[in-house]
Structure 1
C-alpha cells in the first residue's frame, strides 16, 4: 500500500496544468493599500484579489478580549467594453469574545458591496510625446 501512495503522489506531481493569466500590458490592481484604481481591468477579464487579516483586541473599559480573523475578496469583471467593469467586494469576519461573565463567538459577512465603474476620461489616450530637437552651437571668440 505505501508504494501505491508514493506512485500516486509522484503521478499527481507530474501532471501539468494550463492556466491563463491576464492578457493586458499592465495589471490594474486595487489591492495595494486597498484603494480603487481609475482604470478597468479590460473587456472579458476576470480579476480576483484576496486578503486575510487577524483580530486581537483587549477592551479594558468593557472588559472583554476578542480574537479572530477576516477574509477579504474583490472580484472585478470587464463588461461589454474596455472602460466598463462590475465589482463585487465581500468581507467575512469571525470573532471569539471572552469576558469575565460570558464567552461567545460571532461570524458573518461584514460587508458586501456590488457596483460598477466606467472610465470617463483617460489622460493617456491619444497622447503624443513631443519630439524636441536641440541644436548645439559653439561660439568662438
Structure 2
C-alpha cells in the first residue's frame, strides 16, 4: 500500500504540473481510499492483537481460579478427615457430615459454573 500511495503522489504531482487538475483530483480520491483501507487494516490488526492479549490474560486468570478451586476442595477434604479423627461423639460425626454435605453442594454449584465458563472460553 505504501508503494501505491507514493506512486499516486507522483502521479498527482505530474497531473498538476501538466494542468490535468481533474485527473489530479480523481487520483487524490483514489489515494484517500487507499489510505482509509490501510488505516482500516491497521485498526483490525491492533484490535486482533488486543483481543488476543485480553483472551490470554483471562485464560491465565481462569487457570488460577481453577487451581484455587481444586486446592480449596483438597483442603476441605483434609479438614473433614482431621475432624473425623478428632471427634468420636455423635456431635462430631454430625459436624463432619454437615461439612461434607456443604462441600459437596458448593463443589457441584461452583464446579458446574466454572465448567461452563471454561467451555464458553474454548468456543472462542
User: Which TM-score band applies after superposition, normalised by the shorter structure?
Assistant: under 0.3
- Normalised by the length of structure 2, the TM-score is 0.20
User: Which structure: greater helix fraction?
Assistant: 2
User: Which structure: greater strand fraction?
Assistant: 1
